[in-house]
Amino acid sequence: MTTPNALAVTATLDADPVPPAEDPAAPKPGRWYWYAVKGEDGVSARRLVCVTHVGSNYARIDGPEISPTRIHEDKFHDVCVLEPNPEAVIRQRTSQHEATVHELMAEVKALTMRLAVTSAPGLPSGEAGALAIYSGKNVEQYKAALALAEKKTLPDLFKRIKLENELLGVWLSAPIIPLKAQAEALNPAIDAVRERVFSVELYAGLVEQVVQITDGEPAGATEKLHMFQRRAYMDEECLAQYETGGMEFKNMEAFDAWLARPTNLQRLLPFPRCLLAFQVRRNRKDREIRSLYDYFRVMNLEALDKLTFLYVRNGQQLFRLSTEIEFGADLFPDLTEDQLSGVLYARAHHDTVHKLIPERQWLDLRERERRWEKARDEREAAVKKMGRAKAAAYIKDHPLPDEDFFRWHSDSYKSYKPFDRTNVFYDDISKHIHDEMTRHNRLVLIIQGLLDRSPVLHPHPPWQLWTSEGFASALELHYDDKRALTPGEAPDFQAYRDRLNALITVGTVTLGQRLVWQLRKKETPHTDHGPDKFSRVAAFSKKAGRATFRWTRERASRANWNDDEETKNKGGVPCRIDVKVRRLFNVDAYKPGDFKMFFSDPRTRANYLQWAPLLLEAEEYHAGNRGEVPAPLAAPPKRQRLPGGSYEYWKRKRLQEMLGHAARLRHPITTKGGTKYEKGSLWRIMSLYRGTFSIGGITPDGANEPLTPDANHGGLSSRYVRGVDAHELEIDDSIPVDPECVYKRRKPRRKDDDDDGE
């Protein structure tokens, strides 16, 4: 922490120096310039712009025809030329667009008058006279002119009118740009006053509430206050109610009691005098909303989830300090004098600084990205010479370095620029660093207020945290978030899951099958409750990578009972589901305590919602808290076929045998289009679809009818009817069968079960 510098003010009786003459062409808020812009074709065009802000090394410009842009001070006069009379230019552009709008409106009016079109109801005498003129052969020309005006001419004119009106509005609002710049110049003064008021509130404790959790002997008077950089999360630390997504705010007293336990207190607050920030949860929790009351209740809970709680340990005493101040994921920034003295790189866009990193981290990011790009280019060159199957296998066997990082992150080293005077975001980066320090100082103000007006940290020396000596003697900062070193690679939950699932066999207890069933069910009977959360595998195919689960559901009605006495007595309908092994979790292979490898590593704890529901449920199962899992149900006996096949089978076979035969109509039929075909007309049975035939007309010798002109629809056609029942046709065996229409059995397709909403 840096101490504020005292400003020495001296008075002098010397005459005030004469200020240098102001450059009339220098950038100044409110001045207008012509800005040279290069188009896509490389040709430069001039745009009228206004300077809205002047920074320490740049000027920001805005105008009716461009978006806000920053220009470095070294290049400003190369691309901007002062316009001494911008009001005349704005009036000229406004008048041009007004005149264009009037011309287009006159063109629309002339076109509608030429076509005798009016917005009045009925048919006035003018339109009647126009229609009378277009009599005989000219009526078709008038109809074509109307169609052209409707589909092209008028829509194009209206689009141009809309565009000109938009441009007119832009130029009419151009004089407001300097006024907005003047109002924006007042923001720094307002922010300074607001920050001063907020600092007074922090020191006075007007935005906080302290609750004592435990009592006892305080720490020694000379004991430092240890502050941890990371922000902890209550649901991750205690993993309470993990099935429903973590803790609620109403469990705060329960969490206080949990934290006060000696083992938990020593793990999270290990020093006699220390401070650790908590939030309820890291990620947003999905809550069910069924009514307006639920909506407001959920909104209130989500607001409480964002509160920051500072837990302070003072010897055997434990306090909870509640505040609505947002300190961020880190309680204090990792910006030391060593880092600020070196070269910094920042990623900034649209007046916002997104990230700030030191040079060593930027060099490491550049090296990683270049290594990744080289490996990607080599793999793409090798894949181009392979087929699809070989290419897929090659890509799987040759993963790219840091593939997950560069696939999901847009954090390229090219998006970072050095923090120096050549960067047009220099002022924003400086403000970002200042804001980080200010956020740190807010916490210091709170602690200084506790030292001066509260017994929370008593006894202690008269520490003054605004001095370097007082800060060093009172506080000890622990960079347990940004500088924490964790040995080895982060544990991979999916690899751990695959390793356990490789041991799945018939009878294995698993998790995950019920979730798959819930994603697949659409019109499941209300009596079907699906497989249990813990179920045993009934059948397993290692080659297909699928596990089968079986259960029975209650019958929805007695009308669905069949003649199987055994099933009827049980009163249940057998059900099954096939699930891919990668969607499951092998509970039998889980060893108690395995969840600690993911919980203890800070790199995977943030993703606890991915693994906690499975691992902790397996932990409860092995502890005997989930009961016994029954043996898997045996496969139901195969349905015995009736001698000779069922009625539906023989009906389908009989219809298939009629394909390709010639047939005559038993009765006259009329199509939906109104065409009537007489009894005894000759046809060929062409195809079968859902129990009905499509038939086509043929000649007495069995040949297809020749195509004839169609008077109703135009073109050539022949007789063809769909949806004809078998009882409407009488087979004529005197005409040979057409082998092209005979039914040919096709190999059935196997439906994959990988469309379950994964």
According to the model, what pLDDT value does residue 452 have? 78
Element (H, E) at 422: none
Per-residue DSSP letters for 402-471? THHHHHH----GGG-EESSTT-TTHHHHHHHHHHHHHHHHHHHHHHHHHHHH-GGG-S-----TTSHHHH
pTM of the model: 0.50
Residue from 629, 512, 534 nearest 582 by CA = 512
* Contact call for residues 658 and 731 (beta carbons, < 8 A): yes
3-state secondary structure of 393: helix
Burial annotation 70-94 (CB, 10 A radius, 16+ → b, else e): bbbbeebeebbeebeebeeebeebb
According to the model, what pLDDT value does residue 568 have? 47
From residue 758, give the alpha-carbon distance in Å to each of 417, 564, 579, 755.
40, 37, 11, 7
Q: By CB neighbour count within 10 A (0-12 exposed, 13-18 middle, 19+ buried), where does 144 fall?
A: exposed
According to the model, what pLDDT value does residue 661 have? 93
* Contact call for residues 308 and 233 (beta carbons, < 8 A): no
205 backbone dihedrals φ, ψ, rounded to 5°:
75, 30
Cα 65 to Cα 17: distance, rounded to the nearest angstrom: 42
CA 577 to chain centre: 31
Residue from 502, 510, 513, 506 nearest 577 by CA = 513
The residue type of 415 is S
According to the model, what pLDDT value does residue 7 have? 32
Cα 476 to Cα 227: distance, rounded to the nearest angstrom: 6
Residue from 229, 204, 202 nearest 475 by CA = 229
The rounded average pLDDT for each run of 10 residues, N- to C-terminus, in the chain (758 residues) is 36 48 79 82 79 88 87 88 89 88 85 66 45 53 76 83 85 83 71 57 57 89 87 75 53 83 86 88 74 74 78 91 72 59 79 81 86 87 85 83 64 84 85 75 76 81 83 83 56 88 93 89 78 93 92 70 47 86 93 82 71 85 87 81 74 90 92 88 91 91 83 74 92 89 59 46
Query: Hey, what are 125's tokens?
Result: 């005498």
Cα 408 to Cα 37: distance, rounded to the nearest angstrom: 35
CA 410 to chain centre: 15
According to the model, what pLDDT value does residue 50 have? 92
CA 390 to chain centre: 33
Q: By CB neighbour count within 10 A (0-12 exposed, 13-18 middle, 19+ buried), where does 42 fall?
A: exposed
* Contact call for residues 425 and 353 (beta carbons, < 8 A): yes
Please, what is the angle between helix 154-172 and helix 86-114, to 10°?
Answer: 160
* Contact call for residues 278 and 311 (beta carbons, < 8 A): yes
The DSSP bridge partners found for residue 682 are 664
* Contact call for residues 512 and 579 (beta carbons, < 8 A): yes
Q: By CB neighbour count within 10 A (0-12 exposed, 13-18 middle, 19+ buried), where does 437 fall?
A: middle
**Tell me, what DSSP letter sits at residue 704?**
B
Task: Give me the torsion for CA of 476, 478, 482, 488, rounded to 10°.
Answer: 150
Q: From the DSSP assignment, how many helices (H) and strands (E) are in the chain?
A: 24, 29
Q: By CB neighbour count within 10 A (0-12 exposed, 13-18 middle, 19+ buried), where does 277 fall?
A: buried
Cα 343 to Cα 418: distance, rounded to the nearest angstrom: 7
pLDDT tens sequence across 514-551: 989 988 877 677 788 889 999 999 999 988 899 999 99
* Contact call for residues 544 and 719 (beta carbons, < 8 A): no
The residue type of 244 is T
Cα 82 to Cα 62: distance, rounded to the nearest angstrom: 14
Residue from 371, 234, 227 nearest 304 by CA = 234
Length of the chain counted residue by residue: 758
Provide the sign of the torsion angle of the four alpha carbons 24, 30, 32, 33, taken in this order. Answer: positive
Element (H, E) at 411: none
Please, what is the angle between helix 493-501 and helix 608-622, to 10°?
Answer: 40
Q: What angle do CA 388, 390, 395 make, to 5 degrees?
A: 95
138 backbone dihedrals φ, ψ, rounded to 5°:
-80, -10
Looking up tokens 């009596």 gives 527
From residue 250, give the alpha-carbon distance in Å to each of 228, 300, 612.
26, 12, 22
The residue type of 642 is L
Alpha helices in 355-425 (DSSP H): 359-383, 388-397, 403-408
Query: Hey, what are 365's tokens?
Result: 């990011």
**Residue ranges covered by each domain of the chain:** 32-84, 99-182, 196-341+436-484, 495-622, 647-741
Cα 209 to Cα 651: distance, rounded to the nearest angstrom: 82
Residue from 530, 546, 552 nearest 580 by CA = 546
According to the model, what pLDDT value does residue 41 have? 62
